[in-house]
Chains A and B, each alone.
Chain A
Amino acid sequence: DTEVTQTPKHLVMGMTNKKSLKCEQHMGHRAMYWYKQKAKKPPELMFVYSYEKLSINESVPSRFSPECPNSSLLNLHLHALQPEDSALYLCASSQDTWGTPLHFGNGTRLTVT
């Protein structure tokens, strides 16, 4: 079990649906991240939040909308996704954004039909 909790574990959605992925950590970490991982590929950074403020957006399409309501929670709102967005979405946290280790959640397996 990891200390970063992601829900749901699996999600199937149509291209017109709106859904949200949720992530929670209680380690007092001040940086939180969303990564996307396709099969047999490494995790690919999407967003970084530092002290609840968005600090990095890796040119992610606007159909992905992150939100950090407080220091423990991170959401990823999904709307009008494409089948090629199907992937494992990993949330991670770290003490800060100064090169400290990432603690990953087990991910949400997303399928877009």
Chain B
Amino acid sequence: EDKVVQSPLSLVVHEGDTVTLNCSYEVTNFRSLLWYKQEKKAPTFLFMLTSSGIEKKSGRLSSILDKKELFSILNITATQTGDSAVYLCAPNTNAGKSTFGDGTTLTVKP
């Protein structure tokens, strides 16, 4: 059975702090790992990672995948209150199945 573990489950920081969110996985027929941000409604896509060791970056957010150790991290630097959300990690198989982790709930205080 596919397994995805995210840590920490929740995190409270102050604006300007840097955070690191972790995702470890065990899935069969791994194809890619995706990160999503969920605020009040639908998850929105952040990053897709397919290759080990190549950092993806978008503004203050970055992410990297280690396919040998089966984990990924999502970094957010200089956090802002608008970064408050649930961050979901989802490894995807080549059959189109995305298994979501329980998410990390990030709260950024002013």
| Contact stretch, chosen from B13-21, B44-52, B68-76 | B44-52
Q: How many Å lie between the Cα of A96 and that of B103 in the bound state?
A: 24
Q: How large is the interface on B (under 10, 10 to 19, 20 to 34, 35 or more residues)?
A: 20 to 34
How long is the Cα–Cα vector from A10 to B92 in the complex, in angstroms?
A: 29
Give the CA-CA distance A97 to B50 in the complex, in Å. 14
Taking CB atoms, residues of chain A closer than 8 Å to B100 are 42-44
Least CB distance from A67 to B in Å reads 18
One of A2, A33, A101, A107 near B34 (C-beta < 8 A): A101
For the complex, what is the distance from the CA of A8 to the CA of B49, rounded to whole Å? Answer: 34
Number of interface residues of A (CB under 8 A): 27
B64 part of interface (Cβ distance < 8 Å): no
Q: A50-B96, A56-B95, A102-B34 given as contacts; is B102 within 8 A of A41 (CB)?
A: yes
With both chains docked as a complex, state the minimum distance between the C-beta of A4 and any C-beta of chain B, in angstroms: 8
